[in-house]
Structure formats: C-alpha cells, structure tokens
Amino acid sequence: MLHEPATPAGKDPASPYKTRLGIWMFVFYSLFYASFVAINLLSPLSMATIVFAGLNLATVYGFALIIVALIEALIYDGMCRKKEAEFAKAEKSKGGKTRSKKGKA
Amino acid sequence: MAIIIFIIFVVFVIGLSLYLGSKAKTSSGYYAAGGQIHWGVNGIAFAGDYLSAASFLGICGMIATVGYDGFLYSIGYLAGWIVALFVVAEPLKRLGKYTFTDAVDANYNSRGIKLFAAISTLVVSICYLIPQMVGAGVLVEPLLGIPHSWGVVMVGAIVITIVATAGMASTTYVQFLKGSLLIIFSTVLVGAVVVRGLSTKPDQGGAVEFYEYSHLAATKIGDQITVTDAGWNVLEQAEVKGGLSFVKLGRDGKESWWYVSNSDGVITLKESQFVVAKTDGKWINGAPASATNQLRQVGNIEKIRGESDVTTGSLSIFEYLSILTDKDTSVQTWKTASFVDSDGEKVTVYYPKVVSGDLIMRPGLKFKVEGTLLERLDFISLMLALFLGTAALPHILIRYYTVPSPASARKSTIVAIASIGFFYMLTLFMGLGAMTSGVINPADSNMAAPLLARSFGELLFAVISAIAFATVLGTVSGLIVAASGAVAHDLMDRYMNFQMDDRQKVRAGKISAFVIGGIAILLGILFKGMNVTFLVGLAFAVAASANLPAILMLLFWKKTTARGIAASIVVGIVASLSLIAFSPELYTLYGLNPLDAPIPLNNPGIVSIPLSFITLVVVSLLTPKAEAVKV
C-alpha cells in the first residue's frame, strides 16, 4: 500500500507552472551564488574592493545573496498566488457554467 | 538572574508540552502536529529548527576568530533555503506523510528505500545532534556553574520530556518561541554593539580593565634568541609545526611563554597566555587553575584607521563595518599552538596576531582561496554542501508535513527565509562585536555571542544565555522527533511490518525518543571540545550527499527507479562518511599528523554529492523499466 499525505492536497492545476518557475528562479540564484564562489577563487583580491559606503565587495555581495534570496522568494510567491487565483477563477466560472447547464437541462 | 530566567523558561516549555501532549493522541498528531500548524508559526518554527547552536554559537564564534570566513557559513546556510523553496517545498508536501522516507518512497513502496532512507535519517540526525549537545554543555558551564557533562544530561532529560509528551506539536511551539526570542534579542545585542562603537582599549563598559600585552625587542643569532632588556632570561625555545617559534622567559622567579614574531628580520617577543598540563593539574599563566585564575578574555582593535587610543562612540551599521574594512584598521586576533616542553609537559600557547581590516573582511583567513588547488577545491566543496544540504536535512523536511497545504509549505518557507536571513545578517555584527570587545575565551570561541552580551550587563547575558540554551533545546527536539520517526515509523512500522495500532505507533515513537535521547547525551559527553560549526558543516555534507540526489531525481527525472534511489543513498552515506573519517581535520582530532591523512579534503561534498547522483542515474538506467516511477 502506498503512502498518502498527512493532510489530503486537492488537485493543483498551477503545479506545472510553479515547478517551471521554481526551476528558473533556482537556476538564476544558483548562478548568482556560483559567481560569488568564482570571484573568490579567480580574483580574491577584488573582494577587498570598496564598492559602497566604505564596504567592500565581499560584504556587499554577501548581504546581497541574503537579500536577493528574500526578494526572489517574494516574487515567486506573488507569481504563484496570481496563477493559483487565475485557475481558481477559471474553475469557479467553469463550475458556474456547469451548474447553469444543469439548471437548463 | 541567569538561573531564574532559565528555570522560568524551562518550566514554561515543559508546561506547554504537557498541555499539547494531552491533545496529541494519534500518530498524525505526534509526527506531523496533525498537519494543522499555521504557515506563519511554522515559518518561525523553521527558523527555530534551523538556527541551531552552530548558527548562534558557532558562526558568531568563528567570525569572532577568523572574520569574514565565518560569515560564509551564514551565506551558505541561507542560500540553501532557495533549493528548499523553489525545488522541494511544494512537491515534497504533496508526496509525503510523516518522514523523509515516506516522501522518497511515496511512488515505489520499496523495502530498500525504507531501510536506507531511515538509516540516512538516523545518521544525519546523529551527526547534527552531537554539536548541539556539545554546545549545551559549553553553555551551562558559565551559565549555571555546573560541569559540562551535567549540562548535557540536563538538556537530554528536558528534550526527552518535551518530545515524549507531545512530539511535533510541542516541538513546533517551542521552536516558534525560541526562534522569535532569538531574533528579537540578537537585534537588541547588535543595537547595543553599534551604539557602544569601537575602542582600541575595550573595557566591557568599565566592568573589566583592559589588559595591555607587552612586547619585547630581541635578537636572533643562528637559532639563539636573546632579549634586549637585560632583566629577562631565555630559559627554553620551542619550534612548532608551521614555522612557529616560542620562548620561555624568566624574570623575578616567574616563568612565561612568549611568541616569537619575525617581521622582515626584526624579532619581537609578544606576551602570550599559556596552559601547562602538569602532573598536579592544569596551570594557567604560571599558576594553578582556579576560579580566579582563568585565561583572560581577548580580542581588541589595535588601530582604528591607523590611530591608536581611539574610542569612536556611537556608530551607524555602515560606519561600523566600514571602519573594520579599512586597510589601516588592525585587529589583535588570537591563535593557538601546542607542543611538549623540555619537562615533557604539554604546553598550549594562545598568542596574539595582528591582522589588518581588509584581510578580516574578505575570505582567506580560514579558507585559503588564494592557496593550492586542493585548498580551493575544499572551499568549493564547503560552499556546495552548504547550498545543497539544507533541503536534505530530515528535521527540516518533516516540518513541511505540519502545515495543511502545499501553498502553506511555500509560504512558511518564505517566512523562514526572511527571519533566518535577517538573523544571519546580525551574526556578522555579533561576531565582529565579540572580536573587538575583549570578550573571547581564547580556548573556546563558541561562547563569543553570550560573552559579548555579558559585556553589556548580567541581564542581557542571562537572557541571551537562556535563549541560546533554548536554541539547543529546540533543535535537539526537532532532531529527536526526526530520528524517532525513522526508527518507529520507517523501520518498525513500514520496513519490519510490525502490526501496531495508532496508539502503539505513538508509544513506539516515544520509546525511540528516549533511546535516541540517551545516545545523544552519551555522544555529547564524549565529543566535548569539538568545534560545533565544523560538525554541523559535515552533517550538511552527509545530508546533501545521501538525501538530495534522491529527492531531486525522483521529482524531476522520470526514469528514476527504487533501486537507483536506494543505491544513491547508500553511496552518499558511505562516501561522505569515509571521506570525513580520513580527512586532515579528523586526523588532527585523532591526534595524528593531518599531513598523513589519505584524503586531502576536509569537506567531502565535491566528491560525494556527484558520486551519489551518478550512482542514481547508472543504477536507474540498469533497472528494468517496470520499476520506473509512474508520473
């Protein structure tokens, strides 16, 4: 017997969209993160370059990696919610049409 | 004060557990809090789970001793949540039931997956448990004045009570409470640090007089060192691996060890601290160790933008970092060396080393990014394991089952990223604050953050220590729930097919929690003195090697088979643990020469993670198609 989720999750038509979006956002962040590692290895001295308010590239890039993660997360959530709402709306109107057809019948 | 706050907190936590325990009677309630936790609460509880002793004690301690290199852990730990959010959160929520094993086995019902995924959960949880218990022991020594081993026993007993009374529900609320308090009071501490500013003679707000270490001019002819000042006699010289030299000096009948600094041929002897293991006990700085004779706390700025004798007063967060980044700012950091003296006694010397700000505020002091190819590979390996490890930690994965829907799983991950990210930014300030405030215990950097809090008064120290203790408490609770789930649910119920009703399953989980808690207590005592951040970094590498390839490939590769998953888990565990066991860091721990280690890398991820992926692909391709996942 296969396992079931602890709480049953209904069918999610937005799932393929969210998966695709997630992968693209993951790829973007991975490149951003990999660039940080690459700069450290290929040009470590450039990490000491002052770039903003007396802070060097290492500090600014480090904070940016944290802040960009949050910004990306919020964008992802916003886009997922929008798509979920679109499908919910379409489902609702489909349900309404079905009901009105049944009423006519 | 500390004891009162601590007791209030512990009584409250146990009371909460008993209350929630009366509600959790089913296995769903025990392992997944009934799947009804609000996403906001779960998000902060994620932070509580994740911000373990390694984050609060370990990272702050590492930044306090090696600067920016410690902050790399903050960056890597946070970046790992991106994998969790974008790739794992929602699909995993749809697949699983109670445990990591449920999730990877959801489409296969394979005995091999059940067995090896459960073993993997146990191995990763135990790797993660050891540093938490060690951290608990380290904390209670100054907090409650009891020995390390009793601290470990106390944490174990409280955690077993919490887990055995209510499982995931009470663990979640303890984590929520602890996560919230940790972030709030760390913000208060960072506020206090920047308001106090920087000083070349930090005196902990007037509480501890600044100790100025002496320097002596010397000459070196051949191998013989002679002190220029006639009052000092060189009694002994010691050469240590890595080209370090120390001399034992005598004056007025007192003996002391000094570090020999050679800067472009100019010899300077720098006053150091030292511990000698004598037959009649430990001697510190030339006298027997006692309550009043301990190692002095260290760490201060020597020059602020090229000037000595400066106290800045209140600074903005940018000015604070900017001063420390300046190449003309220099900080006195402390290193350790050990050797056996002419009397055959083991001497440990803590010696000062001045480092300029531009070196402190970029990678390089610990991770040799400008070093050999192997040293660079080690750096890549660490960053890879930190990035990929988060989404493969069993005690983090099971938290996805406590919320009611995949959308709630996504939203709780975003709350986690916000709160954890904010905390990790604070670690840089806490670590640098400790580095420059004269609060570091040179023999144990793990206490940097609580000792920094003590420099602002006993009240903040008491609160921060109680929260740090709760940090350990909460993380250990989560790990024991995950490990007990692996034993009772995955192995006993699913793999061995023991016929148990719902109530018996809960009882099995509670008995498992007792046994695993006991093992954790034992390991916490045995591994005393090990670096907590280092151990957690290894747990990430094991998790990323054993679990992540299985999770990712079953979600995104249709040809993945049960045998492929089982094989990749086995190869991931064996490869990562073997590489760790024969690494230079572990050779040092065994008391062997690290240069003799057969594996030159300290971090195994760069080898073990790809190996696990390749194993999964090859075995899946060789497995009959009938076993392929049905999507």
Would the CB atoms of B424 and A69 count as touching at under 8 Å? no
> Cα-flanking dihedrals φ and ψ of residue B225, to 5°?
-100, 135
More confident residue, B225 or B52: B225
Return the closest-CA partner of residue B316 out of B438, B463, B212, B191: B191
What pLDDT does residue B36 have?
66
Inter-residue long-range contacts of A48-51, CB under 8 Å, 24+ positions, other chains counted: A48/B327, A48/B358, A48/B361, A48/B362, A50/B325
What pLDDT does residue B64 have?
94
Query: What residues of A are in contact with residue B379 (Cβ under 8 Å)?
Result: 37, 40-41
Does A53 contact B at CB distance below 8 Å? yes
Check if the beta carbon of residue B554 is closer than 8 Å to that of residue B94: no
Residues 6+ apart with CB under 8 A from B250: B232, B233, B235
| Nearest residue in B to A14, CA atom | B407
Report the alpha-carbon distance of residue B600 to residue B584 in Å, rounded: 6
Q: Evaluate if residue B427 carries a pLDDT over 90.
A: yes
In chain B, where does the domain assigned CATH 1.20.1730.10 lie?
Answer: 2-10+39-197+368-627
Check if the beta carbon of residue B455 is closer than 8 Å to that of residue B436: no
Check if the beta carbon of residue B595 is closer than 8 Å to that of residue B585: no
Would the CB atoms of B369 and A65 count as touching at under 8 Å? no
Q: To 5 degrees, how large is the angle CA B335–CA B355–CA B271?
A: 50
Query: What residues of A are in contact with residue B368 (Cβ under 8 Å)?
Result: none
* B235-255 average pLDDT score: 89
| Nearest residue in A to B323, CA atom | A54
What pLDDT does residue B629 have?
47
More confident residue, B356 or B90: B356
Return the closest-CA partner of residue B333 out of B357, B312, B368: B357
Q: To 5 degrees, how large is the angle CA B468–CA B470–CA B473?
A: 120
Q: Evaluate if residue A2 carries a pLDDT over 50.
A: no
Q: What is the pLDDT of residues B172-193, one digit of tens each?
A: 777 788 788 889 999 999 999 9
Return the closest-CA partner of residue B166 out of B472, B477, B489: B477
Query: What residues of A are in contact with residue B71 (Cβ under 8 Å)?
Result: 62
The 8-class DSSP code of residue B307 comes to: B
Q: Which of B448-462, B525-539, B595-609 has the lowest mean pLDDT?
A: B525-539
- What does the domain layout of chain A look like in residue ranges? 16-104
Q: Evaluate if residue B205 carries a pLDDT over 50.
A: yes
Q: Evaluate if residue B378 carries a pLDDT over 70.
A: yes
Query: What residues of B are in contact with residue A77 (Cβ under 8 Å)?
Result: 410-411, 414
Q: Which tokens belong to B93?
A: 């929520």
% of chain B exceeding 70 in pLDDT: 92
**Sign of CA pseudo-dihedral A53, A56, A62, A64:** positive
DSSP H/E element including B231? none
Report the alpha-carbon distance of residue B466 to residue B237 in Å, rounded: 45
% of chain B exceeding 90 in pLDDT: 33
Q: Evaluate if residue B300 carries a pLDDT over 70.
A: yes
Does A42 contact B at CB distance below 8 Å? no
DSSP string, A7-65: S-----TTHHHHHHHHHHHHHHHHHHHHHHHHHHHH-GGGGGSEEETTEEHHHHHHHHH
Does A56 contact B at CB distance below 8 Å? yes
| Nearest residue in B to A18, CA atom | B86
Which of B24-38, B93-107, B316-330, B589-603 has maximum average pLDDT? B316-330
Return the closest-CA partner of residue B117 out of B620, B481, B558, B568: B568
How many other β-carbons are positioned within 10 Å of the β-carbon of residue A31?
A: 11
Q: Which tokens belong to B56?
A: 């609060």
């609770």: which residue's tokens? B477
More confident residue, B68 or B399: B68
What pLDDT does residue B2 have?
65
Report the alpha-carbon distance of residue B333 to residue B353 in Å, rounded: 5
- Confidence bin at B422 (pLDDT 50/70/90): very high
* B150-179 average pLDDT score: 75
Which of B86, B369, B401 comes nearest A25 by C-beta? B86
Specify which residues B304 forms β-bridges with. B307
* B212-228 average pLDDT score: 88
CA within 13 Å, CB half, B390: 31
Q: Evaluate if residue B155 carries a pLDDT over 60.
A: yes
Report the alpha-carbon distance of residue B349 to residue B352 in Å, rounded: 10
Which of B25-39, B118-132, B155-169 has maximum average pLDDT? B118-132
Report the alpha-carbon distance of residue B89 to residue B353 in Å, rounded: 46
Q: What is the pLDDT of residues B318-365, one digit of tens each?
A: 999 999 999 999 999 999 988 899 889 999 999 999 999 999 999 999
Q: In terms of CATH architecture, what is B2-10+39-197+368-627?
A: Up-down Bundle (1.20)
What pLDDT does residue A3 have?
42
Q: What is the pLDDT of residues A33-67, one digit of tens each?
A: 999 999 999 999 999 999 988 999 999 999 999 99
Would the CB atoms of B75 and A73 count as touching at under 8 Å? no
Q: What is the pLDDT of residues B379-392, one digit of tens each?
A: 999 999 899 988 88
Would the CB atoms of B421 and A70 count as touching at under 8 Å? yes
Does B407 contact A at CB distance below 8 Å? yes
Q: Which tokens belong to B98?
A: 């109670």
Q: Are strands A50-52 and A55-56 parallel, antiparallel or unpaired?
A: antiparallel
Q: Evaluate if residue B628 carries a pLDDT over 50.
A: no
What pLDDT does residue A25 have?
93
What pLDDT does residue B631 have?
37
